[in-house]
Structure 1
Amino acid sequence: MNSRVQFCEALLTRLMGLRDADTGVWSGELASSALSTALAAIALAGEDEAHNRLAADGAAWLVAHANPDGGWGDTSASPSNLSTSLISRAALRALARRGLIDGAACEAVLTRADVWLDARLKGAATPERVAQALGEVYGDDRTFAVPILAFLAMCGDKEEAWLHVPPLPFVLSLLPQGLYRFFRLQVVSYALPALIAVGLCRHICVARVRGRRPGWRWLAGALLRRLETLQPSHGGFLDAIPLTAFVCLALQHAGFGDCAVAQKGYAFLRQSVRTGGSWAIDSNLRTWVTSLATRGVVAARSWLPNGDTLVPRAELERIADWLISVQLKRRHPFTGAAPGGWAWTDLPGGVPDADDTSGALVALKRLQQAGCVAEVIPAVRAGVGWLLGLQNRDGGLPTFCRGWGHLPFDRSCPDISAHALAAWAAWRDDDIWTLDEKRRLDMAMQRVAEYLKREQHATGCWIALWFGNQEAAQGRNPVVGTARVVDALRAVRRLLTEAGMATEVEAMLSAGERWLIEAQQPDGGWSAGTTATAEETALAVIALAGGSDACVDAARRGQAWLVAAGRDEGYRPSPIGLYFSLLWYHEKLYPLVWPLDALSCG
């Protein structure tokens, strides 16, 4: 038995062993986050003794996980960055003032943090200089910049700091959801709770500093009711610890800390804490990683000689049933999204989005091809229709809301558009569509292809939105972006050729494949930075494996790299994931599910 087969068997066995016993699917594990830990610790501090213990544990974790240079990164494997370092330092200072952490170790960490921030800001961290620096990081997008500035004002001892926090148009949240996109809001669609809570808090606190009565305070009741309609049953907005903590803190400082929204938020933060005192950025990506794992498991089951034994079909049926069960069946209160989509998690805070819906649809097709007999057609029809309704005028697909706006995380993007293209192509030929429905699908796929043609860089690559590389210029990741688009274009190649787009598709594919081949490192791996990663290498292999002889040769070298790297040291998760507002994360399952899929190719 060759080493690739042996390693693939071991990888498959390990992955199957990481499933949740009750459901038969995967929850994964996100990296602990200094930013989340700092925000949650401050939000809970002072509520009662139990909350203070959690805050103290969080402070101790922050002290233990500062980088040697004095700052903090988004993960323990991330370089220091401005936002996380500002928040972590402010949190530690505030917790120290409250007596929740003390000692020489904390003082030493704070001293090093001061030095790092002074160097990064080219001077003392005054409110003016911090506001300017954050503006350079986030540009016109106030989604994260304003909550950070508000948090620093909350943690500081100078009320005048509120005067440097820009306003947010929180009153507009009371308008019908369908009107939001016409106002070109300076926050993205998923940040509505922060828009309301932080915007109201800033309005009240600035008025207090100026000795005036806040003009919009009379709307507080209506705004709190709006927050109640957005808040899921367990209290966590989007199941996101940073967003929920920002909302709780803003309500505290605005004088509404006892309201139902804040109390449910505290409960969510309490239940989200990890052993050791840290918090992640989100509860889990269960639906997303299950869709990815399904693709890898089905591929390995088909390729390995004993795949049927390692993965009985009954286990695939469990996965199919679970995916169908977590499809959203009602209009979502957060974004107003119609039924039919999938979120990244099955927890109450999940919101349907294009990437997770596409992932679930592709996974269900793979399960059907593997012999699953679960009744998937109603779910597939609803999911495909949901994606069709999300397509933007430019032909691409956004993450959450059609036509919302001009900010990056709400615009069409190549990686998500390509994923939708692959999902549509997977089900297009099934005998479940009327002639008119097939025509609509064909037109949608052609429009995505035209969008991808416009978005392809002159070098042949595409840039991903939700994945990056910390070592790359501006954190961008053309390896992931190009791999995902090439993989999708190959899946839809025949359909687009039949539609008369052969020339365009072949040109895009050829340029994308050439870029990936040229980007391969001498050792056979891929990375948008300097060091090859299992995640990027696997995605490049998946994209190239079905191509020309040159593509196949590059893919085989990539497979050899995956076997050698995994066998020698095992794969370490790399922070290539980009969460809301450019927060880096790594997920424990990424370096398992993608390499398994890649090693089963060809």
Structure 2
Amino acid sequence: MCAVLADRETHPKASVDRSSVLLRQLIRRGMDYLRRQQNTDGGFGDTDRSHSNIATSYLVLAASTLADKRGFDALDPGQLERLNGYLDRSGRLNGLRARYGKDKTFVVPIMNNMAIAGLISWDDVAALPFEAAIFPQSMYRFLQMPVVSYAIPALVAIGQARHFLGRKTVFPLRLLRSMAIGRTLRVLRRMQPESGGYLEATPLTAFVVMSLAATGRSGLQVVDEGLKFLQASILDDGSWPIDTNLATWVTSLSVHALASDPEDDGDWYSDELLDWHLGCQHQERHPFTGAEPGGWGWTDLTGAVPDSDDTPAAILALGCMRRFADAARIEKLDQAVRQGESWLRRLQNRNGGWPTFCRGWGKLPFDRSSTDLTAHAIRAIRSIDHQAAADDDRVAIRSGIRFLEREQQASGAWLPLWFGNQDREDESNPIYGTAKVLVAGAVCSSRRDKGVDFLIRQQNADGGWGGGQSLSEKIAKLAKSDPEMREIDPKFSHEITSSVEETALAVEALAAVLLQLRSVENDGEQPFQRSNSGAQVLEKGVSSSNRVVEMTGGELPGKRNNLVGGQVVAAGNEPVIEAILRGVEFLVQSVRDRRHEVAWPIGFYFAKLWYHERLYPLIFATTALGKFLRATETEINHHWPK
């Protein structure tokens, strides 16, 4: 971000409310933040809790170089020496290209920034076919686009920067691109939301603004609106978030969490919450991806794009709210859910899986069908009680199940698309992917059992799941620096490697499997859970864990003999019960120690940009504890939300 502002700061056409004085202040704050974030290996990570990576390290180098040229305090000589040492060890440009392979969504913007800063030649930057943006969106998948479906603004702005500043292409193509400049700029403006931020995201907006400013076009409305967004989204510590707002997504998940409590009485529900959620549904064809009406995006802001993760989450959340709504709102709710279900079915790929945004884009990693999205879509479709589209539903579900069965790894795991674990060599997160498939109950019993066995084998010595060395180091630092965390139970204060998020996901999945087994034993029905959110999540999470402790007499181990082989679940599931109880112990202690307030970077933005969301550990832990209480109830309540 500092690079964007430093470049724009040299152009005199900024409007009054974004004067040179304000831009200089933002640059100083951003550089102050960056100087505090260098890792011990000399590199920089995507978040303050992330490993160094070559992409972010190059972006920091570009930002520091431009800031220094404009007279700002940049990285000091020692920091630059350590940073360059990290880049040398990481293979420099060859290492950068190797990280992303054929996907140019992020590697070209990084090299674009480096060229603007004078670190490399413009001829080293790939010439993106920005002229392709003049074609209808329905044709993009046939044009072999080198970027993912949601990065068209970057394609246009960066492609034009290379066209103006790099080596000239052959005459016919150069002429075609020159003729396409005006039309593609209009596409860029048409895609820009009211907030000015493409996808409500800093990286994509910053790449667009900087590329246009670098070619002397700072006076364009696209640049001006983009700067408004960037100015408004800086955080108090001088950093910018990757995504500025996940309101719809975290609210849907939170509604799920609250409704997971077997004693849920709906005190979190309000007509305003339901109306707000209904209002987040997209009712017009989207200018960004060309998506038809009916889906939900991750935020209620105008930059959201409907997708196949937020839409199922919203459908499931609305299902939880339905039982508390009046007749008029139920009618609106049912109509919205049917529209959302139809939207999901139309998005399904031929291979049976669900992509994120656009059907048929399968060439690049973040456009392909994925297991986590497919499981979520199946779960949502199965939760809807109506006959109108029953045949279509069955076809979509069967096709989705076949996709999931093909995608199961030999280990029994499923790998997700939008979540990862930075301490794994391949940065995948099989805990998340496997949990999502198991919660959906979307595969046959033999496949399910392989997934359960995988989760049990992956349980860590501390009783939790996931995480790694980087998390244990962070927890140790927090325990020393935060006075309130110094009282952590000694049993848990050393050698903690598991994350609250991944542990909660595994516990929820195993508890969901128990519920499915019990339901089959009782009446042959197989339940499928729904979801829920609100401002009371923290209190609910703490109270749920307190109730877990109460029901186990204060010590979970003492309850094991009563749970295993007793009324709660038939004999033969002892390993599952044992794993769940150890995971619940970890979660209860995490709430006591306030570790559920320490979010961990398990989420991906496009091109594997890491982020952490402060509500994830709270939401996931609340959901898991609620599912645990359900799974260990003497009787199954069939009125629980699906």
Give the alignment's TM-score, normalised by structure 1: 0.84
Match of 1:200 among 160, 178, 200: 160
Deviation at 1:558, TM superposition (A): 0.8
Partners of 2:351 and 2:3 lie apart in 1 by 38
The equivalent of 1:405 in structure 2 is 362
Match of 2:508 among 542, 545, 560: 542
Matched-pair contact (CA < 8 Å) for 2:161–2:212: yes
The equivalent of 1:555 in structure 2 is 580
Q: Describe how 1:576-587 pairs up with structure 2 within 5 A.
A: 576-587=602-613
Superposed CA offset, 1:229-272 (max 9, x none): 11111211111111001001111123322111111111111111
Matched-pair contact (CA < 8 Å) for 2:43–2:82: yes
The equivalent of 1:22 in structure 2 is none
Does the C-alpha gap of structure 1 residues 586 and 203 become closer, same or farther in structure 2, counting only changes over 3 Å? Answer: same
The equivalent of 2:284 in structure 1 is 330
The equivalent of 1:110 in structure 2 is 80
Does the C-alpha gap of structure 1 residues 505 and 528 become closer, same or farther in structure 2, counting only changes over 3 Å? Answer: farther
The equivalent of 1:499 in structure 2 is none
Does the C-alpha gap of structure 1 residues 170 and 210 become closer, same or farther in structure 2, counting only changes over 3 Å? Answer: closer
Match of 2:463 among 519, 524, 538: 524
Q: Is 1:515 the counterpart of 2:515 in the alignment?
A: no
Q: For 2:65, what is the secondary structure of its paired residue?
A: helix
The equivalent of 1:568 in structure 2 is 593
* One-letter amino acid matched to 2:9: A
The equivalent of 1:8 in structure 2 is none
The equivalent of 2:97 in structure 1 is 135
Q: For 2:595, what is the secondary structure of its paired residue?
A: coil
Partners of 1:404 and 1:569 lie apart in 2 by 42
The equivalent of 1:180 in structure 2 is 140
The equivalent of 2:421 in structure 1 is 469
Deviation at 1:217, TM superposition (A): 2.4
Aligned residues: 529
Deviation at 1:568, TM superposition (A): 2.1
Matched-pair contact (CA < 8 Å) for 2:358–2:367: yes
Does the C-alpha gap of structure 1 residues 98 and 394 become closer, same or farther in structure 2, counting only changes over 3 Å? Answer: same
* One-letter amino acid matched to 2:400: V
Partners of 2:323 and 2:504 lie apart in 1 by 22
Matched-pair contact (CA < 8 Å) for 1:296–1:597: yes
Deviation at 1:40, TM superposition (A): 4.6
Deviation at 1:208, TM superposition (A): 6.9
Superposed CA offset, 1:13-35 (max 9, x none): xxxxxxxxxxxxxxxxxxxxxxx
Superposed CA offset, 1:513-543 (max 9, x none): 1111111112210116452100000011111
Task: Give the unaligned 5+ runs of structure 1.
Answer: 1-36, 122-128, 493-503
Matched-pair contact (CA < 8 Å) for 1:298–1:370: no
Q: For 1:116, what is the secondary structure of its paired residue?
A: helix
Partners of 2:373 and 2:169 lie apart in 1 by 45
Does the C-alpha gap of structure 1 residues 116 and 538 become closer, same or farther in structure 2, counting only changes over 3 Å? Answer: same
Does the C-alpha gap of structure 1 residues 41 and 553 become closer, same or farther in structure 2, counting only changes over 3 Å? Answer: farther
Match of 1:191 among 139, 148, 151: 151
Superposed CA offset, 1:100-154 (max 9, x none): 226xx63332222122222222xxxxxxx51x22220000000111111111000
Deviation at 1:352, TM superposition (A): 0.4
Partners of 2:95 and 2:579 lie apart in 1 by 42
Q: For 1:332, what is the secondary structure of its paired residue?
A: coil
Deviation at 1:69, TM superposition (A): 2.3
Q: Is 1:156 the counterpart of 2:118 in the alignment?
A: yes
The equivalent of 2:523 in structure 1 is none
Partners of 1:146 and 1:137 lie apart in 2 by 12
Deviation at 1:552, TM superposition (A): 3.2
Superposed CA offset, 1:15-61 (max 9, x none): xxxxxxxxxxxxxxxxxxxxxx4455445433522112111211111
Partners of 2:404 and 2:590 lie apart in 1 by 33
Does the C-alpha gap of structure 1 residues 44 and 299 become closer, same or farther in structure 2, counting only changes over 3 Å? Answer: farther
Partners of 1:219 and 1:443 lie apart in 2 by 43
Deviation at 1:478, TM superposition (A): 0.4
Q: Describe how 1:482-501 pairs up with structure 2 within 5 A.
A: 482-489=434-441
Deviation at 1:211, TM superposition (A): 13
Match of 1:254 among 206, 215, 218: 215
Partners of 1:417 and 1:335 lie apart in 2 by 20
Partners of 2:433 and 2:467 lie apart in 1 by 10
Deviation at 1:506, TM superposition (A): 1.1
Q: Describe how 1:27-176 pairs up with structure 2 within 5 A.
A: 37-42=1-6, 44-47=8-11, 48-101=20-73, 106-121=76-91, 129-130=92-93, 132-156=94-118, 161-176=121-136
Does the C-alpha gap of structure 1 residues 324 and 511 become closer, same or farther in structure 2, counting only changes over 3 Å? Answer: same
* One-letter amino acid matched to 2:401: A
The equivalent of 2:626 in structure 1 is 600
Partners of 2:43 and 2:282 lie apart in 1 by 41
Greater mean deviation of Cα atoms: 450-459 or 291-300? 291-300
Q: Is 1:321 the counterpart of 2:275 in the alignment?
A: yes
Deviation at 1:166, TM superposition (A): 1.1
Matched-pair contact (CA < 8 Å) for 2:500–2:595: no
Partners of 1:515 and 1:423 lie apart in 2 by 25
The equivalent of 1:15 in structure 2 is none
CA RMSD of aligned residues (A): 2.1
* One-letter amino acid matched to 2:404: L
Q: Describe how 1:432-451 pairs up with structure 2 within 5 A.
A: 433-434=387-388, 437-451=389-403
Matched-pair contact (CA < 8 Å) for 1:204–1:217: no
Q: For 1:282, what is the secondary structure of its paired residue?
A: coil
* One-letter amino acid matched to 2:118: G
* One-letter amino acid matched to 2:33: W
Greater mean deviation of Cα atoms: 507-516 or 215-224? 215-224
Q: Describe how 1:331-480 pairs up with structure 2 within 5 A.
A: 331-369=285-323, 374-375=329-330, 376-427=333-384, 430-431=385-386, 433-434=387-388, 437-480=389-432
Partners of 2:373 and 2:8 lie apart in 1 by 36
Does the C-alpha gap of structure 1 residues 398 and 212 become closer, same or farther in structure 2, counting only changes over 3 Å? Answer: closer
Partners of 2:439 and 2:8 lie apart in 1 by 45
